[in-house]
With several copies, the nearest count.
Chain A
Amino acid sequence: MSQDKRYVRPYGDTTGDGMVQMSFTLPVPHGPRAEGAAQQLANKMGMDPAMVVHSHAIGADFTFVVVYGSVQHLVDLEQVRVVEREYPLLSPYEVNSELKESLGRKLVVVGACIGTDAHTVGIDAILNIKGFAGEKGLEYYRELKVINMGAQVSVPELVKRARTEKADAVLVSQVVTQRDAHILNTQEMSAAFREAMGDRRPTLVAGGPRFDPLMAGDLGVDRVFGRGTTPGEVASFLVHTVKKGVAA
């Protein structure tokens, strides 16, 4: 392996071989033309050589293909953008004492699954005492007051409740992504808070398995959590925002 390893390629069985597996369906009847089309697509994607190792008809109009091949692109690890956790991961004990110290009262968290989305398991994993992956949820934290509004909450309801509860943070979950529902709903939510409260809006957090943490800006929220988030990460982030707020 290179000393520096800034550039890497996929690994099949030899360093640098670039091998990947790919499958897709083309709206082309099964036959050599469909395989040729698949080959062309793979080449355009930078696979060279690309082998169509399997194809079969799906009905009269479609062809399913499996392609193996070597991708010529290099991954530049220095250019990889990830949302780094710029705050420390705290234990529940630390979260509680930091909050007690910097806030002097309970931090109020309102959570909901907005729009017509009824997938509460994700947000419950973050909020309910039971928690997730062996970590207790936010309800377990003495210095947090958690209001879990459940599913299919409309944005106006959410804003209203956040206001009456004097929420410090609002956590929304979005699981259904068809037709970009998760993006549109979250944007509607952040716009409503901006509209209703301007700068005094609570910290806004969005979460769900198909969110990319890099999307916070686009969504108009302060933070986005994706697949496999644990309650501790969220609690630690909340402490971080409080301390930043206090410092600012």
Chain B
Amino acid sequence: MALLDLDGEVVGRARALAARAAEPVITLARAHTTVAVERATLRLAGITGADTTHRAGDVPWVNRVVDTIREHCGLEHGAVLPAFHALREHDLGSLTELAEATAAGQVRFTVPTGKQAERAGRAARTAVAKGLRTVDRNRGQRDKLVARLGDPARRPWIYLIVATGDIDEDVVQACNAARAGADVIAVIRSTGQSLLDYVPEGATHHGFAGTYATQENFRIMRAALDEVSKEVGRYVRLTNYASGLCMPEIAVLAGLERLDMMLNDSMYGILFRDINPIRTFVDQRFSRQVHARAGIIINTGEDNYLTTADAVEAAHTVTVSQLLNERFAHEAGLPDELLGLGHAFEINPDLADSFRMELAHALLARELFPDAPLKWMPPTKHMTGDVFKGYLLDGFFNLVGALTGQGILLVGMMTEAVVTPFLSDRDLALANVRYVLNAAGNLHEDFRPAPDGFIVKRAHQVLGEAVDLLERICRDGLLTAIAEGTFGLMKRPPDAGKGADGVVEKADGYVNPASELLEAGQ
């Protein structure tokens, strides 16, 4: 039921502006590839494993191959043509063998042409299609498990983070959290990972404030959650991060290991990891196509803006970013049901009427994106070492979640300002959620923002400011807006940032069967 009486025309205008603002960036994304997109493609085509003999530590085979291709013949035509051509030329059985041979210096990559190119392209397409079939099978398997075990009994889904740095401890904590009521488990990544230009291999035990995202860690956790899902009688979802320099690869690994949600924002890496904007937009488009295929819900990162900018002043930037994220997602093939658009309870709690303002913002998101499973993020910035105050604030955060029909509730921790969560923090936090949803979960029936009252006015104001900002962005360009610090006050020029050298303009003969199959939905 619409409570804010939003003007349909204004909403339509906002969407149209977002589409216009996104368009040049989409064109840019289509025109480029990146080392990460190429690696992701080869991963779909079946390459696995790492070079354990290298002096720099384990280097994934896929990095060896793509780096060497780039060295030998550039990536403008994509990696599959040189790779599958070499495979055939050297009569090798698998991409892994190709990688070994590459490492041994036995392979010289070239871009095939004519018939050879066609053949290499066909072989690549077959291999990639096989990878996509695994992704499809996983999607089917998820559907089956959900049908058998059931979804959580109610919305919002309860989303909990584990972050010990050690996948084995993570498993213990995740299973306990699921037993205590968590519907979604997110394994936070180690602080350094997003800037690694490769995906680490194997089970890992020494992350900082998070655990490395690796294919093996994904597998271990998904298996553990499958077990515990049976135990608790509902399908417990697994989340990780398709972000950083390896965004597309991680998206592929998520599809291959049946992850269910992925943090994936169109601008987060730019703003908060200082990753090159073009790199990010290219990687983002590919990764979202993969997510769409895998039926994975993406979670966007608008909450982060409110940790560096003020939640009242910057409220409209959240709305703008949500509209952009929506547009980019739609363009990449993601339907509304897979759009976990983010927003957060980050207004200074000392502000008069702060709770009502939170309601206004949360309701605005709800009514702008009625079919998206919005992700509602807890207070972090204004959490302090006063854990009692924090526990109370989290309770009111939970109440906003219930009153405004949020889809996914990231559970706030009373120790937010102190440490990564203790076992007991998670347990107390879940008790908090349980109390609020159980005692006041239906209060939304009695929540009717006064017409023309504080909440309604505030929502209209934010939407108005969002439209104004979108107009400016359409005029100046999204890349300029980002460079000027529009989002989260972070200024990121389009030519700076990490990973810029991994961006390659596509040549005319560029071939990427993954892109083709994904784009065509095959």
Does chain A touch chain B in the assembled complex, meaning CB atoms less than 8 Å apart?
yes
Query: In the assembled complex, which residues on chain A have CB atoms less than 8 Å from the CB atom of B454?
Result: none
Contact A59–B273 (Cβ < 8 Å): no
Selected interface stretch from B349-357, B417-425, B434-442, B472-480: B417-425
The CA-CA distance from A118 to B191 in the complex, in Å, is 8
Contact status of A116 and B191, CB under 8 A, knowing A53-B418, A58-B424, A179-B208: yes
Q: Quote the shortest CB–CB distance from A19 to chain B (angstroms).
A: 6
Contact B192–A116 (Cβ < 8 Å): yes
The CA-CA distance from A223 to B230 in the complex, in Å, is 45
* 8 Å CB contact of A12 from B180, B208, B209, B419: B419
Contact B386–A13 (Cβ < 8 Å): no
- Interface membership of A220, Cβ < 8 A: no
Contact A54–B424 (Cβ < 8 Å): no
Contact B192–A19 (Cβ < 8 Å): no
Q: Quote the shortest CB–CB distance from A207 to chain B (angstroms).
A: 16
The CA-CA distance from A11 to B422 in the complex, in Å, is 8
Q: Which residue of B lies closest to A51 (CB)?
A: B418
Contact B308–A121 (Cβ < 8 Å): yes
Query: In the assembled complex, which residues on chain A have CB atoms less than 8 Å from the CB atom of B273?
Result: 118, 152
- Interface membership of A141, Cβ < 8 A: no
Q: Quote the shortest CB–CB distance from B314 to chain A (angstroms).
A: 13
- Interface membership of A181, Cβ < 8 A: yes
Q: Quote the shortest CB–CB distance from B57 to chain A (angstroms).
A: 16
Contact status of A12 and B195, CB under 8 A, knowing A59-B180, A118-B272, A181-B209: no
Query: In the assembled complex, which residues on chain B have CB atoms less than 8 Å from the CB atom of A118?
Result: 191, 272-273
Contact A53–B385 (Cβ < 8 Å): yes
Q: Which residue of A lies closest to B386 (CB)?
A: A54
Query: In the assembled complex, which residues on chain A have CB atoms less than 8 Å from the CB atom of B424?
Result: 12, 23-25, 58, 64
Q: Quote the shortest CB–CB distance from A247 to chain B (angstroms).
A: 39
Q: Quote the shortest CB–CB distance from A86 to chain B (angstroms).
A: 27
Query: In the assembled complex, which residues on chain B have CB atoms less than 8 Å from the CB atom of A152?
Result: 195, 273-274
Contact A13–B173 (Cβ < 8 Å): yes
Contact A58–B169 (Cβ < 8 Å): no
The CA-CA distance from A58 to B422 in the complex, in Å, is 12
Contact B423–A176 (Cβ < 8 Å): no
* 8 Å CB contact of A176 from B179, B180, B208, B274: B208
Query: In the assembled complex, which residues on chain A have CB atoms less than 8 Å from the CB atom of B421?
Result: 13
* 8 Å CB contact of B423 from A11, A116, A117: A11
Query: In the assembled complex, which residues on chain A have CB atoms less than 8 Å from the CB atom of B179?
Result: 59
Q: Quote the shortest CB–CB distance from A42 to chain B (angstroms).
A: 13
The CA-CA distance from A19 to B421 in the complex, in Å, is 11
Contact A181–B384 (Cβ < 8 Å): no
Q: Quote the shortest CB–CB distance from A96 to chain B (angstroms).
A: 26
Contact status of A13 and B422, CB under 8 A, knowing A116-B191, A121-B307, A178-B208: yes
Contact A13–B208 (Cβ < 8 Å): no
Contact A116–B419 (Cβ < 8 Å): no
Contact A68–B419 (Cβ < 8 Å): yes
Q: Quote the shortest CB–CB distance from A95 to chain B (angstroms).
A: 25
* 8 Å CB contact of B169 from A14, A121, A177: A14
Q: Which residue of B lies closest to A176 (CB)?
A: B209
Contact status of A21 and B387, CB under 8 A, knowing A176-B209, A181-B209: yes
Query: In the assembled complex, which residues on chain A have CB atoms less than 8 Å from the CB atom of B192?
Result: 115-116
- Interface membership of A170, Cβ < 8 A: no
Contact status of A58 and B209, CB under 8 A, knowing A66-B386, A66-B387, A118-B273: no
Query: In the assembled complex, which residues on chain A have CB atoms less than 8 Å from the CB atom of B208?
Result: 116, 176, 178-179, 181
Q: Which residue of A lies closest to B381 (CB)?
A: A121
The CA-CA distance from A12 to B274 in the complex, in Å, is 33
The CA-CA distance from A64 to B388 in the complex, in Å, is 12
Q: Which residues 199-241 in A have Cβ within 8 Å of B in the complex?
A: 209
A interface footprint on B408-435 (CB within 8 Å = 1, 0 otherwise): 0000000101111111100110000000
Q: Which residue of B lies closest to A63 (CB)?
A: B424
B interface footprint on A133-157 (CB within 8 Å = 1, 0 otherwise): 0000000000000000011100000
- Interface membership of A56, Cβ < 8 A: yes
Q: Quote the shortest CB–CB distance from A126 to chain B (angstroms).
A: 15
- Interface membership of B165, Cβ < 8 A: yes
The CA-CA distance from A115 to B209 in the complex, in Å, is 13
- Interface membership of B176, Cβ < 8 A: yes
Query: In the assembled complex, which residues on chain A have CB atoms less than 8 Å from the CB atom of B180?
Result: 58-59
Query: In the assembled complex, which residues on chain A have CB atoms less than 8 Å from the CB atom of B419?
Result: 12-13, 19, 68, 177-178
Contact A62–B274 (Cβ < 8 Å): no
Query: In the assembled complex, which residues on chain A have CB atoms less than 8 Å from the CB atom of B34?
Result: none
B interface footprint on A154-174 (CB within 8 Å = 1, 0 otherwise): 000000000000000000000
The CA-CA distance from A53 to B419 in the complex, in Å, is 10
Query: In the assembled complex, which residues on chain A have CB atoms less than 8 Å from the CB atom of B176?
Result: 58-59, 62
Q: Quote the shortest CB–CB distance from A36 to chain B (angstroms).
A: 16
Contact status of A53 and B195, CB under 8 A, knowing A14-B164, A59-B179: no
8 pairs, CB–CB < 8 Å, chain A vs chain B: A13-B421, A14-B164, A19-B419, A23-B424, A25-B423, A66-B385, A176-B191, A178-B419
Other contacts beyond A54-B417, A68-B385, A68-B419: 17, CB < 8 A: A12-B419, A12-B422, A13-B164, A13-B173, A19-B422, A21-B415, A25-B422, A52-B385, A54-B385, A54-B387, A58-B180, A64-B424, A116-B208, A152-B195, A152-B273, A152-B274, A178-B208
Please list the residues of chain A having a beta carbon within 8 angstroms of any beta carbon in chain B.
11-14, 19, 21, 23-25, 51-56, 58-59, 62, 64, 66, 68, 115-118, 120-121, 150-152, 176-179, 181, 209
- List 5 tightest A-B contacts by C-beta distance, closest first: A54-B385, A53-B385, A116-B192, A116-B191, A178-B209
